[in-house]
Structure 1
Amino acid sequence: MWEAALHGFILAWGLILPLGVQNVFVFNQGAAQPKLARALPAVVTAAICDTLLILLAVLGVSLIVLSLAWLKTILYAVGTLFLAYMGWSIWRSEPPAPGNASAGVGVRKQIMFALSVSLLNPHAILDTIGVIGTSSLSYEGYAKAGFAAAAIAVSWIWFAGLAVAGRGMGRLDSSGRLLLLMNKLSAVVVWVMAVYMVKMLVFP
């Protein structure tokens, strides 16, 4: 069981570390909110979504999704439109003014955005169900449970850490210039991912 848990832990870190839309959003909320606690809706929603995807992958849903070419096409098409919109939204966003207690996105919008970046990102979905789901086939019983639990724990630790890191940067950047630059870079990253989605649609 411990070997399976270590496998799940390392594998999850490898999947979650690259800069993506989900990570960008959680980090930006940590930086934009006047208090760290106000970024919790984004952190918890993103972690719950990852937990759901990992559980579906380990339970075998990955085999169904990966076998349906039309479903993958729909995921990529929807994902392309979604990422294009998210990039535009991030590019236009302005950093909060210093001392503005109402800065940052509200609870409802945080939850909706976190749900969107987590569940409408086909690249993340296919990575999770393809890599974690396939790897979990090597285990049964308690070993598979340990594998899944370790992968889920990584998500919760990572998103909490991202918000803390964002909060630290937000406190250091009193002028908001660094956060503005990060928003621009984040938007470019999101648009690059959208282009990748188009490539996967045209040349699957």
Structure 2
Amino acid sequence: MMRVNAQWTGEQGAPYFTTVHFGGEETNANAQDAASRFAVFLNTIKAMYTNKLTVQVNPTVLFVNPETGVAFDAAATSTGPATGTGSDGLLPPANQGMVRLGTSSYAGGRAVRGRLFIPGPTKGYDTDGKPYPAYRSALKTAAETMIAGAAADGAPFVIWSSPREATNKLPARDGFISNVTTADTWTQWAILRSRRD
């Protein structure tokens, strides 16, 4: 699988880091497609985060064995930064938009799901302490576009379930990836305390 990292700078508590994963064959071309897809997503939603934040996808995309989580190679990519355009005043920095990611996979009897947090929401997208419907719709649409485009590229957007060592109650398990098939947004603000100061 391919691991794409992005760094957010310019606001209280920054830098923030976002990590996402893509499947498909680990090639330079697919790595560029993956980095570009995520960069386009971040640029598409720039109105949803403060103009004090700039996010840059790391040019180095890691090739990682999903079973072990160990990187075995890397590819150099190129994408431009995205700077937010929200100017209504920042909500508390711990507040995050959250995209809920769904798959058709199950592990241990539970559906495999993921979350993608978007920092820097502004007061203009808050209504009664909750994300405004237009904010949620914009995130959902952008995420769905990224998911569909990545699948068409042959480097699908995936959730990585990390490997697990054996415990007294659970057997060991290799890591694995699951293709993301759906995206939705939470009706509440998510809270990431590590991004509050």
Greater percentage in strand? 2
RCO higher in 1 or 2 (8 Å CA, sep ≥ 6)?
1
Greater percentage in helix? 1
Using the size of structure 2 for normalisation, the TM-score is: 0.31
